[in-house]
Each structure stands twice: as C-alpha cells, then as structure tokens.
Structure 1
Amino acid sequence: MNNRSLLALALLFISFLVYQQWEIDKAPKPVAQQTAVSAVSNDTPTSSTGSASMVDGTTQGRIITLTNDVFSLKVDTLGGDVVASSLLDYAAQLNSQQRLVLLENNANKVYVAQSGLVGKNGIDSAAGRAAYQVDGDNFALADGQNELRVPLIFSQNGVTYRKVFVLKRGEYAVEVNYEIQNNSDTAIEVQPYGQLKHTLVENSGSMAMPTYTGGAYSSSETNYKKYSFEDMGKNNLAINTKAGWVAVLQHYFVSAWIPNQDADNQLYTSTNNGMGFIGYRGPILTVPAGASDTIKSQLWTGPKLQNKMGDVANHLDLTVDYGWAWFIAKPLFKLLTFIQSIVVNWGVAIMCVTIIVKGILYPLTKAQYTSMAKMRMLQPKMQEMRERFGDDRQRMSQEMMKLYKEEKVNPMGGCLPILVQMPIFIALYWTFMEAVELRHAPFFGWIQDLSAQDPYYILPLLMGASMFLLQKMSPTPVADPMQQKVMTFMPVIFTVFFLWFPSGLVLYWLVSNLITIIQQQLIYRGLEKKGLHSRK
C-alpha cells in the first residue's frame, strides 16, 4: 500500500464514518404521505394520536403464557395484547443464562404488540377493551407437536369473538386470527388493527457502532423504509396500501405486524404521552346476521432471520438493513454462512472469506505494485521536469501526462485496489452490525463475540502494527516532511478507530494486511527479475 493509497483509504474510511452517522441521526426526514383517512368510519380512531389514544390500555387482565420451542409470549386477556416475549435461543448478554426479552411492559420500558377490533361494532375502544376468557394460564407446544392453538373467547350482544393465537414449531411468526360468529339478528361491522407501542427513545451506540431503534414499514410503493420516533413526532404516517407491514427495529431484532396481504390496509404512526405507535388498520368487515368470518394477521417477534422473514411477508427480510452496500453484503453473508457451515467457526470463516477476496483482487494488487515500481523508475525524469519547468504548473502537468502515456503508467493505479476493497469493507461492517447470526459468535481465546469490540484491544493493535509494516515496505517514499508526519501517524489513527469496531471486522482487516504483505513480497520478487524494482 503506497502513500497515495493510504491517504485515499483514510479519506474513504473517515468519510464513511461521518456519512453513516449523518444518515442515522441527521438525514433529511421523510415527509408523511398524506392519504384520505377520512374514508374510514367515524367510529374508527382517526384523532391526531391515531388509534393509540382510542384503544391503548394498560395491563389489567390476567396474564397467560404461550410457549413454543423458540420463544415464550405473555398475553394480557384484556384486549389480547402480547405484552412480553422471551427469546429462548438468545442470551440477554454474552455467557448469560438469562434469555433476551424483546417485548416487555414495565416501569422502565414499554414495548408491546397490541391488536383488536374497532369500528361500528368494535370491541376495543376508548371505553374499554374486550375481556377475553381462556381455560388455563400456561400453554406450551408439546413434544412431537408442530402447532399450538390457543383461543381467547369474548361474547357480546349475540356475537362470539375468538382471538386465536397459533404458534408453530421453530417459527417466530405467530398467527393472530379473529374468528367471528354473528348469532345476532343484525349485521355487524368491525375493523381490525395491529400496532406496536414503544417508549420514545433515541438511537444508541457510538460513531463506530451506531444502532437504530425505531419504526419501519413496507407498502406497495415502498419496499422498505425506516420511520424513526423523531419522524413520528413530526409527521403522522398515513398510507393506503395493498398488503404492507409495520415494524419496530432494534439491534439484531424486530417485531412486526403483518396484516392480511390480500387486503387494502392503512399504515399509520402517532406519538402520545412519551409513547410511539406504528400500526395498521385493515378494511372494514361486514358479518351478516347468522354468518361467520375470519380475519387473519401475523406477528413476528424475534431475531432478524433473513432466510425466514422473506417467507412471512414480502420485503420483511429488508429489516436486515445493509444500507447502500446491500448488493455486496447479501452474497458476502451467504458466502460467510456457507463457509461457516463447513469450518464451524465464524472467525475462521471470516479468514477464509478474506483469502477469497484478496485472491479475487490479486490482479489489481499486482497492477498496483507494478504501477508503483514504474512510477519509482520515472522519478529521475520527473525531477528533471520540475527543475526545467519551475513554476509553470500547467506545462509541468502536460509533460507529466505525456510521460505517463509514453511509459504506460497509471498514476492512480495504486488507489484502485483500495477503491474496490472499501465497498467490501463497508458491506462486512453492515453485516456485523445487522446479521444476528454473528451475535455472540466466538472465535477463540479472548474473542468470544465477533460482533463486539475486542475486550483487550489485541486485534486492533496487531492490525495497526501490520498497517505500519505495510507502510514501511512501501517503495514510494514521501519527500514532504509534513506528509511524512501524517503518514507516520496514520496507522495510529486507524488503530484508535478500530478499537471500537467489531472484532470480526478487525480480524478481516488484519488478515487482509497480512495477505497483502505476502502478496507484496511475491510481486516484488517477480518485478526484480524483470528489472522493474529496486529496493531502497
């Protein structure tokens, strides 16, 4: 890596950090798409605080527990809201026996999944929620059982409402269906809704590892878009869409309401009393006297599993947000996953991917050092031009470009490998930030979580040392004293940055540097045989 390449890398690296922080915290906020909410029945909540102000209740009913093999849900019989979810395969902290709690409802944090029926004959309104009856307190998927169905029953004015939770083995998507039997003498009208209620919070993390906590949605016109709590406070989202879904994201995990994908739905957001709401309203359903009907929806509450979320709803897998580098990150993650399935260690898989990437980029690396060697050979002629043309910069530039053309030298050839490798680095960065599979993934020794920073800073220090060695091996010296000082401190600056990066990403950069050192020596030996390189 020559000095020009190192400076280009530094500029790209720092620009990337600044850009990604700006994108999360300071990017222009989307303007809510205003649609005709007035088309909804007056009995449906349409106030400035959305349906939240009308159907948002506190836990007053009996709490029942529904469990399959991957999570445990707590449901309030008053309204049938999911007020807690514990993910059985994910530890709350590294090496902790306590399971990660995603949905919760306590004095410190509110994050619940609410749903109900509003409208002309709705059973959930400002006046109160449906008080369901259920036989039992604890329901668990039995051994050999692939599906658990738990009905909550409420009867009113000759109409029986069954809110049925369906949990399946190995699935984080739970069906939440309404089975309505109208035994009254008149038709009824109801409108389903589902919303996620979350305490208003700000994004957390550091500049090197920022994390997003907030809303997101998908519509017929927008496959995936974040809608933060700050956005909700400024503009109430109001979108009519075919299908679609709403979600609340946090680091590695997501909860999402997926309404009937064959229906026209309304997506909305609101804020009220320190709470943010993002939800949907389905179409008004008319159930004639003596008839029955079913309203279907799904709730995903769990990790961001790309291979499963796409099967639940279109574009739900986009909640694994790789940013603009998605077209590199997705195949890169698939390659990582494939190799990990063979070597059974994510750290070794990262090393293997690094070798593959460096192998693919080897022709560019060879061209880089060949260009650098030719540039070194041209230094006497370039010095002669400086003395001949003096301060005539335009003439000097013209003659230099002519010389480059005659000698078939690309002065920017040394930067090309860095320009190609930087998007790969950014894609890996977002992979570590978003792929839950890498959460708490051990390497060996002191590295027990490749998605977290090195607790003893050993890998960043080794990376800095390898970068310093590469710099010293550069065949193109810097004459300007100021540039020499900048280049001397560059490995130190990068080391400081990398102290806070995921250790898996630092491992990638360290291995990449080591491979570059080996490639550099092999290329130099070949150039020496051709007489194109002389050591300092």
Structure 2
Amino acid sequence: MDSRRSLLVLALLFISFLVYQQWQVDYHSPKPVVAEQTQISDVPANSTSSLPTITNDTLSTSKVITLENDVFRLKINTLGGDIISSELLQYDSELHSDTPFALLQNTSDHIYIAQSGLIGKDGIDSKSGRADYHVENDYFKLAEGQDQLVVPLTFEKDGVIYRKIFVLKRGAYDVAVNFEINNQTARTIEVEPYAQLKHTLVENSGSMAMPTYTGGAYSSSDTNYKKYSFEDMTKADLSIKTKTGWVAILQHYFVSAWIPDQNTNNLLYTITDKDNNVGSIGYRSSVVSIPANTVTTINSKLWTGPKLQNQMANVADHLDLTVDYGWAWFIAKPLFKLLTFIQSLVHNWGLAIIGVTLIVKAILYPLTKAQYTSMAKMRMLQPKLQEMRERFGEDRQRMSQEMMKLYKEEKVNPLGGCLPILLQMPIFIALYWTFMEAVELRHAPFFGWIQDLSAQDPYFILPILMGASMYLLQKMSPTPVADPMQQKVMNFMPLIFMVFFLFFPAGLVLYWLVSNLITIAQQQLIYRGLEKKGLHSRSK
C-alpha cells in the first residue's frame, strides 16, 4: 500500500471517527434504565413520592449566605439550605475575563442547583415546603492558616434540633454536607435523607468537530459509570437500588456530584418536569431512626468543580470516570500522564504536546520504517503484477492465487503499509478526547497567538501549516497514482483535511502538524537508507 492510498485509508478512518463521535453524543445511551437488580430491601420503592417538587422552591429565597475557601465561592439559600451558586475562583469564565466560572447557578433562564434535605415521617422538607434555617452571619471565609471552614445552619421543630453543617476544606472542591439531628423528645423519630441536582433540560452543544455532553451520570454497586442523558430522563425515570455510588451532572470540563454515605442503602432516581423544562438526578437514602434524647449524624458530600481526576478518585470510587475518554481510555490515560509529566518539566502545554509527539513517533518508528520498506518492495513488483493482470484478465481467482504466490516468494506483506496508519488513528482519537476532557488544558497557552490550546486557532495558522505539511508529504511520495480520478481526489485531500482541522483544538492540530513534519524527516531518512541498498531507486 503506497503512501497515497494510506492517506485515503486515513481519510476514511478520520471521517468515520467524526461521524461516530457525533453519534456517541446524540445517541449514546441504551434504553433507559428503570430498575437494577440489586437486593436492597429497606430503601423506599417510590423514589419521588414525597420529594419536594421540581419547580416550586427553585427561585424562592429566604436569605442567601456566602461560603468561600481558596478555590470556590458558594451561595446557599437558607430556605432548604440549597447550594444555588458555585463560582470557581481559579477558572475564568472566558479567556482572560478575570470573572470566575459559574458552575452552579440559579436564574430565571438557567437552573443548576444542589439540593439536599430530610423527608419522611419526621422530615423537614416536603412538597408543601422546606425548612427555613437560621444562621448568624451572611459571609464565611476560610482564614489564612485554617484548614477547614465549618458553617452550621439550624432549624428547630417539635422539640428536635436539626443542624445542616457545611464543611469546606482548603484546596478541595468537595463539600461535606452533614445533618446533625438532636432528638430532645421522648419518642423515636424517623427521617429519610435525600440529595439531588436540578438542571434546566438542555441539548448537547458544540460542533461536529468538538461536540460536548451535558447531562446526567451515575455510579452504582453494579455499574462503575454510566451516562443518563436529559433525553433519557424524559423517557423514563431512573430507579436503581444501590449501597455505593453517586449521581452527577456533567458538562464540558466540569462536574457536580452528590456522594451519599457509602455504608447505607440508597435509591438513585431522576424526575423531570417537561412543562417547566427542568430535571433532577438524585439519591434517597433508607430510613434513619433517632431514639429519644439522642443525637445522630448523617453524612454526604458534594463535588462541584473541575474534572480533576486524582482529587475526584480520592473523594469517591469511580468519580474520576466522569473524565470520559470513550473507548480509547486505555490509550488516553497513559498519554495524559505522559503529557502531564512533560508539562511539569517544560511548563508549557504546547511544548508538552510536541514532546509527546516526538515520543509517539519514536515508538512507532520501526513500524514506519517497515511501512516504507514494504511500499518500496510493492513498487518493485508493479511490472510483474501488471503482467499478471494482462495474462489472467478476468480470472480473478487465478490472479489472486498468483499474486499471493508472488508475495510469498518476494517476502512482501501487501498490508505492511497499513499498520502505522491503523495505529495512528487510535492515538489521535485518544489525544482528541484528552483535549475534550482534561480541564488542565482549558485556557492553556502555547506561544504568540495561541492562548488556548483547547480552542480552535483564532487565525487558522496551524491548520493551514498542517495542510501544507500534508501536501508536502504527499508530493514527496515517489510513486504517482495511475488512476486520474484517484489522482484528483488525492490532490484535494490536504485541503479537505485542512478544512476539518480549522475547527479542531489548536493543541490537536499542533500534534498533527508536528507529526507530519517528523514523518517527512523519517521518510527521507528511511529512503536514503533504501537508496544505499539500491532498493528505493529501483522502485521508482
């Protein structure tokens, strides 16, 4: 297979990839899950019977307080104790905007909040209303030298004191949200903890080159990680009994996730209100009994922040899988670790991409050499193959037999040029998903006009250079294509690729450009070696 036909194979794989990844975003989900077969008996069967309704409390406000550590600023509505805003202080909303990125938010146009509470027999949250907590101050900030900030909200009802306690840690995006229940009555009371993420039902965004997923996801005892889109929620309510796990809402680079106590039985659920275009994904825990004159604590955590794999893995099992590399995860994960390691040395993500490209091309060099050697040998056999075509005419079976015999005698593998191409695409796809998922590359600058490697080149310089390098690589191929139509297609191939790459992340285009330049250098090195052996010159 000569290099031009290899390029056709690469083009076919590339187009297939674009179609496949768009299909994954639009139609990724299997049939909606109604129930999972996990035997947990003490979780209520109906997950939504007594939960607060979707919309009646979303914009209601009693008092809003602010909690802040060194990485985010939270706003909490004392009516229900819901987190209605999270501003990520170390991430700009837009490049160089100096405005913190707002993940959770609560406006008339967009709802994305984190609710939690107590329902059930002696609960303080219901469809008719929410607990209105009391707190002394309006603003709480983690002080210098302080490792954590503890803020209690208090509500008293019928001789029971309920405290909703928020714990923020330094440098952490997970918030402990604990309920302390002090039963000062002479009877046993019962409550059922719940937590949910409410979000406006939205469609997936982005282009065909850079589609992004916004929607739900969960983890359970039987499933480490699974997406459950807003479309899935409108088709069927999620209802899964589990002892471990979490529920989340994902978006490009960021995630919010409720993590219940992993030692209790829980029911994961979704509910939607199509009329108001709002949906929720949450969990409901089993009944908690608090005997008379005792104090009980119920624990949970909320992650609301960037997709930081190491930190999320420490917060909850499989939460790091929300950094979704797709089927190429087994390549993407080590590539990302390599990329991160090189970046720690050179302190520039663009230089790190170049370093990864050099290493990948060095690893694939033996296969690349075999590819060009095989191509040269195939060219040497072209006169004999043409003679066979003239001799056997329409006898395709005899022609095939004689060709295989010739290949065996000459020790030529006709598919030898395909393997490097087939290996290159999974690596490209893995790097693509790394750029789509790794928040570390968001707003990461290179040099000059490239101030964000995760976004497209604003002046399209890198895609043009990439197209030019592909054209040069094509022209350096020593064997012209015999078919005039195929020749025309090949002449347009660099332009077609360049148009596609106009909309790809600049870092990915940088990888492909550097890869092409290295391939050109490797090709010249290999052909010079073949010329010394007399093989390359005879194949022209």
TM-score by length of 1: 0.97
Instruction: Check if 1:300 corresponds to 2:321.
Output: no
Structure-2 separation of matches of 1:57 and 1:143: 34
Structure-2 separation of matches of 1:348 and 1:290: 63
Instruction: Check if 1:412 corresponds to 2:444.
Output: no
Aligned partners of 2:372 and 2:526 also within 8 Å = yes
SS of the counterpart of 1:508?
Answer: helix
Q: 2:48 aligns with which of 24, 39, 46?
A: 46
Residue of structure 2 equivalent to 1:229: 230
Shift in alpha-carbon separation, 1:89–1:216, aligned structure 2, 3 A? same
Structure-1 separation of matches of 2:40 and 2:179: 24
SS of the counterpart of 1:362?
Answer: helix
SS of the counterpart of 1:30?
Answer: coil
Q: 1:329 aligns with which of 315, 329, 332?
A: 332
SS of the counterpart of 1:348?
Answer: helix
Q: Counterparts of 1:194-273 in structure 2 under 5 Å?
A: 194-272=195-273, 273=276
Report the alpha carbon displacement of residue 39 of structure 1 after superposing the two structures with TM: 6.2
Residue of structure 1 equivalent to 2:343: 340
SS of the counterpart of 1:161?
Answer: strand
SS of the counterpart of 2:19?
Answer: helix
Shift in alpha-carbon separation, 1:482–1:50, aligned structure 2, 3 A? farther
Q: Deviations over 1:60-87 (max 9, x none)?
A: 2100000000000000001000000000
Structure-2 separation of matches of 1:174 and 1:401: 66
Moved over 2 A (4+): 26-31, 33-42, 44-47, 49-59
Equivalent residue letter for 1:413: G
Report the alpha carbon displacement of residue 334 of structure 1 after superposing the two structures with TM: 0.4
Q: Counterparts of 1:97-112 in structure 2 under 5 Å?
A: 97-112=98-113
Aligned partners of 1:81 and 1:113 also within 8 Å = yes
Structure-1 separation of matches of 2:152 and 2:48: 30
SS of the counterpart of 1:452?
Answer: coil
Equivalent residue letter for 2:18: L
Q: 2:481 aligns with which of 463, 478, 486?
A: 478
Shift in alpha-carbon separation, 1:50–1:368, aligned structure 2, 3 A? farther
Equivalent residue letter for 1:341: S
Structure-1 separation of matches of 2:18 and 2:63: 48
Equivalent residue letter for 1:315: H
SS of the counterpart of 2:536?
Answer: coil
Residue of structure 2 equivalent to 1:359: 362
SS of the counterpart of 1:361?
Answer: helix
Structure-1 separation of matches of 2:401 and 2:440: 54
Instruction: Check if 1:449 corresponds to 2:452.
Output: yes
Instruction: Check if 1:395 corresponds to 2:398.
Output: yes
Equivalent residue letter for 1:410: N
SS of the counterpart of 1:270?
Answer: strand
SS of the counterpart of 1:34?
Answer: coil
Equivalent residue letter for 1:169: R
Q: Provide the aligned C-alpha RMSD in A.
A: 1.6
Residue of structure 1 equivalent to 2:157: 156
Structure-2 separation of matches of 1:403 and 1:76: 79
Residue of structure 2 equivalent to 1:26: 27
Aligned partners of 1:37 and 1:238 also within 8 Å = no
Aligned partners of 2:43 and 2:265 also within 8 Å = no
Equivalent residue letter for 2:335: L
Structure-2 separation of matches of 1:446 and 1:40: 56
Structure-2 separation of matches of 1:275 and 1:317: 26
Report the alpha carbon displacement of residue 45 of structure 1 after superposing the two structures with TM: 5.8
Aligned partners of 1:236 and 1:268 also within 8 Å = yes
Report the alpha carbon displacement of residue 443 of structure 1 after superposing the two structures with TM: 0.3
Instruction: Check if 1:120 corresponds to 2:117.
Output: no
Q: Among all aligned residue pairs of Structure 1 and Structure 2, give the percentage whose two residues are the same amino acid.
A: 72
Q: 1:494 aligns with which of 479, 493, 497?
A: 497
Report the alpha carbon displacement of residue 283 of structure 1 after superposing the two structures with TM: 1.4
Equivalent residue letter for 1:133: H
Structure-2 separation of matches of 1:21 and 1:255: 24
SS of the counterpart of 1:78?
Answer: coil
Report the alpha carbon displacement of residue 3 of structure 1 after superposing the two structures with TM: 1.5
Structure-2 separation of matches of 1:297 and 1:193: 10
TM-score by length of 2: 0.96
Structure-1 separation of matches of 2:176 and 2:142: 15
Structure-1 separation of matches of 2:312 and 2:61: 33
Q: Deviations over 1:329-361 (max 9, x none)?
A: 001000000000000000000000000000000
Residue of structure 2 equivalent to 1:178: 179
Equivalent residue letter for 1:516: T
Report the alpha carbon displacement of residue 54 of structure 1 after superposing the two structures with TM: 9.4
Structure-2 separation of matches of 1:56 and 1:278: 16
Report the alpha carbon displacement of residue 396 of structure 1 after superposing the two structures with TM: 1.3
Equivalent residue letter for 1:132: Y
Q: 2:442 aligns with which of 436, 439, 443?
A: 439
Compare 29-38 and 488-497 and name the one that shifted more.
29-38
Aligned partners of 1:54 and 1:126 also within 8 Å = no
Aligned partners of 1:52 and 1:277 also within 8 Å = no
Report the alpha carbon displacement of residue 421 of structure 1 after superposing the two structures with TM: 1.2
SS of the counterpart of 2:109?
Answer: coil
Aligned partners of 1:55 and 1:124 also within 8 Å = no
Residue of structure 2 equivalent to 1:283: 286
Structure-1 separation of matches of 2:106 and 2:477: 58
Residue of structure 2 equivalent to 1:314: 317
Equivalent residue letter for 1:92: S
Aligned partners of 1:50 and 1:270 also within 8 Å = no
Structure-2 separation of matches of 1:223 and 1:204: 25
Report the alpha carbon displacement of residue 59 of structure 1 after superposing the two structures with TM: 2.6
Residue of structure 2 equivalent to 1:373: 376
Aligned partners of 2:43 and 2:285 also within 8 Å = no
Structure-1 separation of matches of 2:294 and 2:56: 26
Residue of structure 1 equivalent to 2:93: 92
Aligned partners of 1:4 and 1:414 also within 8 Å = no
Q: Deviations over 1:389-443 (max 9, x none)?
A: 1222221111111111111111111111010111000000000000000000000
Instruction: Give 5+ residue unaligned stretches, structure 1.
Output: none
Structure-2 separation of matches of 1:52 and 1:280: 15
Structure-2 separation of matches of 1:407 and 1:40: 71
Structure-1 separation of matches of 2:27 and 2:168: 40
SS of the counterpart of 2:518?
Answer: helix
Report the alpha carbon displacement of residue 29 of structure 1 after superposing the two structures with TM: 3.2
Shift in alpha-carbon separation, 1:525–1:41, aligned structure 2, 3 A? closer
Q: How many residues in Structure 1 have an aligned counterpart in Structure 2? A: 534
Structure-2 separation of matches of 1:415 and 1:286: 66
Shift in alpha-carbon separation, 1:270–1:381, aligned structure 2, 3 A? same
